[in-house]
Amino acid sequence: MRRCALVCCAAAVSAWAAIGLAEEPAAAPGADEPPAAAALAWPREIDAPNATIVVYQPQPETFKGDRLTGRAAVSVTPKGSTEPVFGAVWFGARVSTDRHARTATILAMEVARVRFPGASAAQEERLAGILKDRLPTAPLAFPLDNLLAGIALAEREEAATAALSTAPPKIIFSSVPAVLVVLDGQPRLRPVENGRLMRVVNTPFTILLDPDTKAYYLRGGDRWYTAADIAGPWAESVHAPEAIVAAVPGTAASAGSAAPPAPHIVVATEPTELIVTDGPPEWTPIGGNELLYLGNTGSDVFMEIGSRRCYLLLAGRWYRAASLDGPWAYVASDALPEAFAKIPCDSPKGGVLVHVAGTAQANEAVLDAQIPQTTTVQPGPAELTISYDGAPRFKGIEGTEMRYAVNTADAVIQVHDGYYCCRDAVWYAAMSPTGPWAVCTKVPKEIYTIPPSCPLYHVRYVNVYGATSDGVSVGYLPGYTGSYVYNNTVVYGTGYAYPPWSGAVYIPAPMTWGFHPVYTPWYGEWGYGWGPWHGESRGWVKWGDGEGGWWGPSGYHPVSWSAHDGQLTVNGKTYNVSGLRDGNIYRRNERPAPPAHPEGKAAPGGAKVAEGLANDLFADKHGDVFRKTGDGWERRGRDGWTKSFAPTADTAGGKPGGVVRGELTQTGERGSARSSAPGGRGRSQPPADFSKGDFSRTGRSLDRPELDAHRYARQRGTERAAEFDRHCAHFNRGGSGRSLGGRGGGGVHGRGGRGRRR
């Protein structure tokens, strides 16, 4: 079933709420929700002074940066006529994308050429004039997933695969409720402001030291814990000292004996991940498969029945061992046993398919990683102040002639004699490391050679797409927030352990391990899990919430969370689920308002959904218009729709036929006779990826593989958009990921790790 791949993607929603919440009061129910896919459906109707234009869903041809070229089937009905004339339009446009609302808008459309095969030369010229006059003034907003599915067929900038680190972290198993408390090395202490207490600064957790008693205190959920040594053992402090409680704003004493039993606390000073089972390991079969999975944990742990080897998924990377005791070794996602691609997508472990190379879910995640989040910013001087810990200090970037500042939380890079700063996914330039700064209109190409061994690797994923006197078009890819393509799947983090800055202030570096990142397909980003799921998970990560650096760049700070009745309570503040969309860095952080561009405003009588028309017309690369019926493809000509047609010369240029890329059988299979029907679960390439293919023009009505590919992509995009709507509606009603076929707790380490709530 086609929607199966999307249902299984809901398996990762367990941690979606940990990313991207805007700090603003909860809105009224239904306020500021993303527009429903039905309101952005195709085809679109545009009123012109002398005609009515209907535009069917565009078919992308190239997608690079924020520039889209493509073609679309259109119909034009002149005023006074009841009979539409069908044709094709080729266009180029700038695309504005909102990844969290899952919308895309075609702006500044430029009509390159048109063709109306059923019209006379005079008619075609008149109709072309109507399209060139009206289409550029009618912005077309549509579900982003329509674009995502379509670019599978387009020439595009391939997602870069860098030499990320795959070394496994230390892996700890616990059969009792436990929480992992991560320190970046041995504890580093700094005085708490206006007090005698000391704070451990190289952790996002709240840990204080009382110098008088030599006791450590850890804030976790609604409780305080204490230990004589930071490594433990830790015990609940029912009556934490008043000075300790007062040192942390917004906290109180522990919940007391009425609360669930305290979890075991594991302190790690090296890259570590914690896997918690609800009692001894319980292996559970996956129906009709050669795998078992660990059923009493929210983590993804498998056993291959034949070899008895264990597999573990961490941060999108797979690791293998002879037993749960290890040692664990990396295994590439495209080298997994065939059984992993056969995991039923509607099973409790269907969510891992996004990390199994060759599956539809993995292909779509890779495509998603190539779609930027875009905006337009005000050009010119910027009120940007860089805070250094002392005088600016720079360090060389391995393999380049560039240097980066080590004693600031901002990404400041020296290239030749200039300085460039990337803050909140916008580039700025200056001739001095302290400014004055101006919005950058062209980023030096050297910056895009920064290796992943450098802690500023993520800035490679921020781009300037164009600049005018009115505005600078900018955008960032998911790599900026730590989601990278590796071995044909998506992974979290570079895997490198970067040195922090420790001077008068402590500046953390991004970390891959310790917070159990879980991919959230709805936004193409990652959520995080920590703390036991006792209904008290918020507050485990508290003091560091607003300081950032641990989970990515400035401006992108995940938070601890709990969900009740469709709302989120984060450190005492309440938000609607729709606030998740504010993971968009450009909306979350204040900046000069972008200029009002005419192309961004809907013109009077602009595009609207064409009522009563199916989104079933396609334009081939020659400009002929087709529709699919039960008897096969039909082409529109002067005499209407016909099932029998011969190939014609491409009057728009070129010759009939031709190879797009690669070799593809009619079923969409690459070099295999195995079934690849929509929704198939085999290892073979499903028709969701028609990025390569021999789409020759045969002239036979029943053999149109290129159009079949576009038709499937259109259906797939519609399904993805509908699933996103259901996802938003589900959580706005207070639902949980479990009922959507999800994995449950993901990285939440406790007895509720399988999605149960207490």
Is the predicted pLDDT of residue 491 greater than 50, yes or no?
yes
pLDDT at 541: 65
pLDDT at 684: 33
Find the distance separating the first CA and the last CA of the chain, reported in whole Å: 34
Is the predicted pLDDT of residue 18 greater than 90, yes or no?
no
Q: In this predicted model, which residue has the larger pLDDT, 112 or 579?
A: 112
Please state the three-class secondary structure of 12-81 as a single string: HHHHHHHCCCCCCCCCCCCCCCCCCHHHHCCCEEEEECCEEEEECCCEEEEEECCEEEEEEEEEEEECCC
- Among 154-163, 224-233, 271-280, 301-310, which stretch is predicted with the lowest mean pLDDT? 154-163
pLDDT at 725: 74
CA 109 → CA 68, 85, 95, 139, distances in Å?
9, 22, 9, 8
> 650 with 622: CB under 8 angstroms?
yes
Is the predicted pLDDT of residue 229 greater than 90, yes or no?
yes
Tokens, residue 693: 């293919």
Q: In this predicted model, which residue has the larger pLDDT, 418 or 608?
A: 418
Q: In this predicted model, which residue has the larger pLDDT, 758 or 78?
A: 78
Q: How confident is the model at residue 547 (pLDDT cuts 50, 70, 90)?
A: low
pLDDT at 489: 94
Please state the three-class secondary structure of 451-513 as a single string: CCCCCCHHHHHEEEEEECCCCEEEEECHHHHCEEEECCEEEECCCCCCCCEECCCEECCCCCC
pLDDT at 34: 52
CA 671 → CA 28, 358, 684, distances in Å?
54, 13, 9
> 411 with 456: CB under 8 angstroms?
yes
Q: In this predicted model, which residue has the larger pLDDT, 581 or 21?
A: 581
The percentage of residues in the chain with a pLDDT greater than 90, rounded to a whole number, is: 45
Is the predicted pLDDT of residue 133 greater than 80, yes or no?
yes
Q: In this predicted model, which residue has the larger pLDDT, 652 or 279?
A: 279
pLDDT at 730: 55
Q: What is the pLDDT averaged over residues 158-168? A: 84
pLDDT at 222: 78
Is the predicted pLDDT of residue 26 greater than 80, yes or no?
no
Q: In this predicted model, which residue has the larger pLDDT, 19 or 394?
A: 394
371: nearest Cα among 163, 98, 40, 553: 98
3-state SS assignment for residue 407:
coil
Q: How confident is the model at residue 462 (pLDDT cuts 50, 70, 90)?
A: very high
CA 566 to chain centre: 22
Selection from 293-307, 601-615, 665-679, 712-726 with the highest mean pLDDT? 293-307
- Among 26-30, 369-373, 607-611, 704-708, which stretch is predicted with the lowest mean pLDDT? 26-30
Placement of tokens 């860095």 in the chain: 585
CA angle, 237 as apex, 234 and 240 as ends, to 5°?
Answer: 130
Q: In this predicted model, which residue has the larger pLDDT, 25 or 489?
A: 489
Rounded CA gap, 265 and 224, in Å? 12
Is the predicted pLDDT of residue 456 greater than 80, yes or no?
yes
> 31 with 732: CB under 8 angstroms?
no
Q: What is the pLDDT averaged over residues 638-664? A: 47
Mean pLDDT, the chain, integer: 77
Q: How confident is the model at residue 302 (pLDDT cuts 50, 70, 90)?
A: very high
Placement of tokens 């679109």 in the chain: 44
**What is the per-residue pLDDT across 343-356, written as a single tens digit (0 to 9) for each?**
998 899 999 999 99
- Among 412-426, 583-597, 607-621, which stretch is predicted with the lowest mean pLDDT? 583-597
**Sign of the alpha-carbon dihedral angle for 313, 315, 317, 323:** negative
Selection from 108-117, 409-418, 534-543, 692-701 with the highest mean pLDDT? 409-418
Instruction: Supply φ then ψ for residue 564, to 5 degrees.
Output: -145, 125
> 45 with 606: CB under 8 angstroms?
no
67: nearest Cα among 137, 156, 159, 133: 156
Rounded CA gap, 509 and 498, in Å? 6
Instruction: Give me the torsion for CA of 355, 356, 362, 365, rounded to 10°.
Output: 10
pLDDT at 557: 56
pLDDT at 396: 97
pLDDT at 683: 34
> Residue 618: which residues within 8 A CB-CB, separation 6 or more?
56, 59, 73, 625, 626, 627, 707, 710, 711
Q: What is the pLDDT averaged over residues 13-19? A: 30
Placement of tokens 């005000």 in the chain: 378
Selection from 291-300, 311-320, 621-630 with the highest mean pLDDT? 311-320
Query: Which residues share a beta bridge with 235?
Result: 226
Q: Taking the CA of residue 442 as centre, how many other CA atoms within 13 Å lie in the half-sphere pointing to its CB? A: 3
78-114 CB burial, b ≥16 within 10 A, e <16: beeeeebbbbbbbbebbbbbbbbbbbbbbbbbebebb
- Among 72-81, 234-243, 514-523, 736-745, which stretch is predicted with the lowest mean pLDDT? 736-745
Is the predicted pLDDT of residue 238 greater than 70, yes or no?
yes
Q: How confident is the model at residue 75 (pLDDT cuts 50, 70, 90)?
A: very high
DSSP letter at 144?
H
Q: How confident is the model at residue 560 (pLDDT cuts 50, 70, 90)?
A: very low
DSSP letter at 437?
E
> 397 with 451: CB under 8 angstroms?
yes
CA 500 → CA 409, 492, 497, 506, distances in Å?
10, 19, 9, 7
If residue 124 lies in a helix (H) or strand (E), which one and from where to where? Answer: helix 121-134
Q: How confident is the model at residue 134 (pLDDT cuts 50, 70, 90)?
A: confident
> Residue 193: which residues within 8 A CB-CB, separation 6 or more?
none
Query: Which residues share a beta bridge with 439?
Result: 428
Q: How confident is the model at residue 580 (pLDDT cuts 50, 70, 90)?
A: very low
Rounded CA gap, 120 and 179, in Å? 73
3-state SS assignment for residue 5:
helix
Q: How confident is the model at residue 139 (pLDDT cuts 50, 70, 90)?
A: confident
Placement of tokens 């493509």 in the chain: 70
pLDDT at 258: 57
Q: How confident is the model at residue 520 (pLDDT cuts 50, 70, 90)?
A: confident
3-state SS assignment for residue 618:
strand
Placement of tokens 């990390």 in the chain: 355
**What is the per-residue pLDDT across 671-696, written as a single tens digit (0 to 9) for each?**
222 223 333 333 333 334 433 333 33
pLDDT at 6: 36
> 324 with 283: CB under 8 angstroms?
no
pLDDT at 282: 95
Q: What is the pLDDT averaged over residues 508-513? A: 92
- Among 166-180, 210-224, 243-257, which stretch is predicted with the lowest mean pLDDT? 243-257
pLDDT at 685: 35
Statement: the pTM of the whole predicted model exceeds 0.75? yes
**Sign of the alpha-carbon dihedral angle for 471, 476, 480, 486:** negative
Q: What is the pLDDT averaged over residues 491-515? A: 92
